[in-house]
Structure 1
Amino acid sequence: MNEIKDFDNLTEVATEFRYQFTREGKKQKDLVLFYAFNGTGKTRLSMEFKDIAKQNGGADTLYFNAFTEDLFTWDNDLVGDEQRVLLLNKDSEFFGSKDVSNSDGKRLIEILDIDNKIRPLLHKYTDFNFITDFNYIKPGEENSENPEKHWAVRFIREDFVDGVAQNIENIKISRGEENLFIWCFFLAIYELAIDKASGYDWVKYVYIDDPISSLDENNAIALACELASIIRKDGNDIKTVISTHHSLFFNIMFNELRIKRKTCFLHSNTTNTYSIQDTGDTPFFHHIALLNDLKKVSESDVIHTYHFNGLRTVMEKTVSFFGYTKIDEVIHGLDDEVLFHRAVQLLSHGRYSVFAPSPMTNDNKELFKNILDGFIGKYEFQFPEIFNAENQTA
């Protein structure tokens, strides 16, 4: 059994991850890679990790998470409907230390030709272009006595008009394209930190939380490989934490990064505590955790309609693993043909929300329990010790 550790809160988990980077000798790690379900607290954990340094008097962590994405906001020019730009929050040290500037008082990111550092990364995934304007004045403020200058990104796409290629400026890109742009902006800054560029020489740790939202699997694979190549870059002495709920991304990072690493599964226990288990050489077992949670739900009898979605997810992976063609081939323990077809219908077409959960009727509860018990019994799933970790002593 791989090592299991229990923690009372996310601060303790963050402290444990930092400890992995400061241990002496061969046990010291350069990378922590962990898998956790959505809702476990990955984003909160990333903030706990960076706050530890702030409590000791200074920042040391460059992070990518939901807060990073919030540094980029759209100004859609609701009056003129022409100047659509993505504004950058220049108060954040994500864009370089405010204490470091040149003789003209400009932050170094303003003179580092950041566009040409981002562009080759971005064009691996998409074909739109952009220009960063560090002296952008919002429409309507041009005639002010002292108009505020903003940092803004204008997006451009080539299109054909009457058969002639033209640049269409000030376009509104999709949410997926926006996420890719912000991610590539982050990667460019990450490389500046690796190179110890002025304004980023404070970075000792990089914390990356779920970077692949809104991406299809092809882009997820490309993104993972690109990130791995940057982490392996010669001269990179920055310690890195990566969290994800995406199994494909996790497995690619696991296989690409054969450096001094700790790989683990972070589990949120029913007692509002946390456990981590080393994955060893078998990194992917989150479907077992999901089954275990469904098993607890079944035993508690507090079952909601959306739990069918979780069960269907595991069953679909099993269908794929065994080379079956339909989900009904992995439904066992039902002799009643009516119940059988009802189960397939519920498992295949249920659209249930975790934000507005509705309890199951009693007959559907029995149906859910029968399917779950038959499935677990047929395929003889073994539930690791970690899923009873809340009953252990730390």
Structure 2
Amino acid sequence: MSNPPKVHKFKSLKSLATRLRSDVRDIDCVLVYAYNRTGKTRLSTAFKDAGKKIGKDGQVKSRDTLYFNAFTEDLFVWNNDLDNDTDRYLKINEASSFFEGLRSLALEVDIKGYLSRYADFDFDIDYSKWTVSFRKGADDKIKISRGEERIFIWCLFVAICDRVVAGLDSYSWVKHLYIDDPVSSLDDNNAIAIACDLAALIRRAATRQDDKGEPAPLRTVFSSHHSLFFNVMCSEMGRTQEGQQKVSTKRYFLHRPDADGTFTLRATNDTPYFHHVATLAELQRCVKEDKLYTYHFNALRSILEKTASFLGHDDLRICLAGLDDEALYNRALNLLSHGKYDITQPVEMVDDNKDLFRRILSDVLDRFKFAVPDLAPAEPAKKATP
């Protein structure tokens, strides 16, 4: 039996970012899977900050990372024309280094090329005012949905990346791409399409050559909580067609087992089996520590629904069939998992519900024999990386 992958423990995002930077010295692409609220966005920022050089005057003298994360979206702010409800547009924060040289790049054609794959609206960029307006058919200056807005920003980012890979002077400072969760608002069809396009971009970045034909690769870190998107990315990055150069990758599961800021990083070649079983491990830990909150019923129900789907059924009741308390468990999961619980302000379960939750989880684990991972080191942990 092979030894389980080693779990690396870090006391801060800064030390974790240092580890990822060490990885991409020799690896073309590092793929990180972690569920929401683990700290992926802050990790991408820590990685970016580690590549900055600050002068004595406090100004940034150089940097090396072009990144896409939640902050990228914040570079665009809606003007909804609340008075007349007609002149609606996105305002671009032109002061950001993200848009360096954007005016001279003439990216509209490239953006539209990508956008046409995912959406059916069009846009116009006014560089004199640094605004973007949208139109569909005969309607102009329309308000697009949050998902459509995210798709547009993503298409703009990919169009910039194309120019970075091409070696454009405006972005010659870029040595790393860091892409965090570009699909959180997208449906599965768009997630698959974007994953395939992103994998192709990363492959081009990894195999880039300079003017003399010498290797000049861009290294990429990609992180996501979206299991389908992560799975497609791993599959695409691991596939090498005839005539293609192999792209080296490393895959991790990122976990934050405690609330004290400690992080664990575990290498895995599975894609991404941790998505559901890591949630089970988290639920087990919450049971053990008696930290059970109302939204944990939602998490357990989601696991059972996906398990039922994997077994070819469309109803989670198949997972509970034959258990001694089958009727009670079904009723509890239906009633207690439909609340709109805010995980940022969790409400602790009452004692009766805690006991019921423990029983359901225990019986489910006994029935399906999930190989639930130990997300903390099996032996006493060595001193964490400072």
TM class, shorter-length: 0.7 to 0.9
Which consecutive unaligned segments of at least 5 residues does structure 1 have?
Answer: 23-27, 97-107, 136-149, 159-166
Q: Which residue of 2 aligns with 1:156?
A: 135
Which SS does the other structure have where 1:123 is aligned?
A: helix
Which SS does the other structure have where 1:288 is aligned?
A: helix
CA contact (8 A) 1:288 1:383 kept: yes
Match of 2:96 among 92, 96, 104: 92
Shift of 1:3: 2.8
Count the aligned residue pairs: 356
Q: 1:52/1:86 Cα in 2 relative to 1: closer, same or farther (>3 Å)? A: same
CA shift digits 1:284-325 (9 cap, x unpaired): 322111111111111222322211011111111111112234
Which SS does the other structure have where 1:349 is aligned?
A: coil
Q: 1:390/1:313 Cα in 2 relative to 1: closer, same or farther (>3 Å)? A: farther
**Residue pairs, 1:63-142, within 5 angstroms:** 63-96=67-100, 108-135=101-128
Q: Which residue of 1 aligns with 2:286?
A: 297
Match of 1:21 among 19, 24, 28: 24
Distance in 2 between residues matched to 1:244 and 1:389, nearest whole Å: 26
Shift of 1:391: 4.5
The TM-score, its normalising length taken from structure 1, stands at 0.85
Confirm whether residue 235 of structure 1 aligns to residue 224 of structure 2.
Answer: no
Which SS does the other structure have where 1:177 is aligned?
A: helix
Q: 1:388/1:312 Cα in 2 relative to 1: closer, same or farther (>3 Å)? A: farther
Which SS does the other structure have where 1:308 is aligned?
A: helix
Shift of 1:281: 4.4
Which SS does the other structure have where 2:62 is aligned?
A: coil
Q: Which residue of 1 aligns with 2:9?
A: 6
Q: Which residue of 2 aligns with 1:145?
A: none
Q: Which has the larger radius of gyration?
A: 1
Tell me which moved more, 189-198 or 36-45: 189-198
Confirm whether residue 219 of structure 1 aligns to residue 217 of structure 2.
Answer: no
Match of 2:155 among 169, 173, 184: 184
Q: Which residue of 1 aligns with 2:248?
A: 260
The TM-score, its normalising length taken from structure 2, stands at 0.87
Q: 1:363/1:386 Cα in 2 relative to 1: closer, same or farther (>3 Å)? A: closer
CA contact (8 A) 1:59 1:202 kept: yes
Q: State the one-letter code of the partner of 2:220.
A: T
CA contact (8 A) 1:332 1:371 kept: no
CA contact (8 A) 2:320 2:330 kept: no
What is the aligned-residue identity percentage?
46
CA RMSD of aligned residues (A): 2.0
**Residue pairs, 1:49-68, within 5 angstroms:** 49-55=47-53, 57-68=61-72
Distance in 2 between residues matched to 1:340 and 1:109, nearest whole Å: 57
Shift of 1:336: 4.4
Shift of 1:332: 6.8
Shift of 1:384: 2.5
Q: State the one-letter code of the partner of 2:249.
A: R
Q: Which residue of 2 aligns with 1:100?
A: none
Match of 1:39 among 20, 37, 40: 37
Which consecutive unaligned segments of at least 5 residues does structure 2 have?
Answer: 55-60, 210-216, 239-246
CA contact (8 A) 1:35 1:264 kept: yes
Shift of 1:342: 2.6
CA shift digits 1:314-361 (9 cap, x unpaired): 111111112234222212785346624432423663443323433222
CA contact (8 A) 1:50 1:60 kept: yes
